[in-house]
Amino acid sequence: MKKTIKGLAKLTRFSEYGYYVIVPSLLGVAAAKGSFSWQLLMVLLANWMTVGFAYMVNDIEDAPDDAFSVDMVKSNPISSGLIAPKTARIATLMMGLLAVVLFARLGVWPFIFGMISLTFGFLYSVKYVQLKSVVFFDIVIHSLLLSGLTFLCGYFSFISRLNRVWFWPFVFVVAIHIYLQLQRDLNDLRSGSKTKKGRTVVHLGERSVILLMIATGILGAFTGIVTLFLVDVIPSWVVLMMAILAVLFILPVWIKLRREDGEMANEVFWRSAVERAAALALFLYFLLPWLDQVFQLGWF
């Protein structure tokens, strides 16, 4: 039983997207002027389940091939023997159905976008379709699954029409995700990594990918400045909190490595620190006013 639970936990790969999904989800809620409520917690849980469903389908479909790969066998709980394929399929189905129930409870538009996300998550990896093997679709669908559609589900959980500010944070999260995905795939290509590489990066080649990264990076930077500083999405104190938290996450590691004359933490560490800082700051943006109202603290 303990082995099965460990296998199921590994199958969801929650640690790879737990903090990340919070950011577009809560930016969507913020753009809709939502507040801390059951809807916020429900859409966050539904988005986690949807992304987890996509990762679980991916491991189920890749398990036969991963079993013959020295590099991939340990990362896949099915091919490594932690969990039986039948158990994995049942758990994946349950995860998807629970997400459907939550989206249906949130309303018509969250249900529509949630179903689109679940469908993309299934078609992304399932054999005979495998959108992850189609040029450009591997990048676009991945960015929609983890950023664009999670944003829209968060947004429409609190409002039924598009307002004047939604466009900027939506483009921001999608552009940044595409940039980060291209960067990761390009690093794998350069290093000769034996992990599965994105089809778009392999097809375009390094030079074209760099140009595409520059374009999405500029777009992400521009829409990020508009989102964080020029339109009324989140207040300046939340942006300041993000920066402070990021420093607090990075500084202890930096000091330790300086003392030990070690190399500075790699790109994954930097990205993880920023993700955690942004996720926690956005969550506190909703939680603190709610606590202030409940306990009448007079903070806001």
Residue 294 token pair: 């409940």
pTM for this predicted structure: 0.92
Dihedral sign for Cα 285, 288, 293, 297, please. negative
DSSP letters, 141-208, are HHHIIIIIHHHHHHHHTT-SS--SSTHHHHHHHHHHHHHHHHHHHHHHHHHT--SPPPHHHHHH-HHH
Domain at 2-164, CATH from 3.30.2320.30, 1.10.10.10, 1.10.357.140, 2.30.30.100? 1.10.357.140
Phi and psi at residue 105, in whole multiples of 5°? -70, -25
pLDDT level of residue 37 (50, 70, 90 thresholds): very high
Average pLDDT value for residue range 102-114: 97
Max Cα–Cα distance, the chain, nearest Å: 61
Torsion of CA 184, 249, 146, 177, to 10 degrees: -50
Q: DSSP code of 73?
A: T
Q: Residue 76: which region, alpha, beta or left (left: phi > 0; alpha: psi -120 to 50)?
A: beta
DSSP letters, 87-153, are HHHHHHHHHHHHHHHHHHHH-HHHHHHHHHHHHHHHHTTSTTT-GGGSTTHHHHHHHIIIIIHHHHH
d(Cα 63, Cα 79) in Å, to the nearest integer?
A: 5
pLDDT at 259: 60
pLDDT at 288: 92
Read off the pLDDT of residues 158-215 as tens digits, 9 standing for 90 and up: 999 999 899 999 999 999 999 999 988 888 777 765 556 567 888 888 888 899 999 9
Sequence spans of domains, the chain: 2-164, 235-300
Of 22, 6, 15, 87, residue with least CA distance to 55: 15
pLDDT at 213: 93
Checking if the pLDDT of 269 tops 90, the result is: no
The burial of 3, by beta-carbon neighbours within 10 Å (0-12 exposed, 13-18 middle, 19 or more buried), is given as: exposed
Torsion of CA 38, 44, 50, 55, to 10 degrees: -150
Residue 173 token pair: 């999260």
Phi and psi at residue 160, in whole multiples of 5°? -105, 5
pLDDT level of residue 43 (50, 70, 90 thresholds): very high
pLDDT level of residue 6 (50, 70, 90 thresholds): confident
Which residue reads 């916020």 in tokens?
Answer: 40
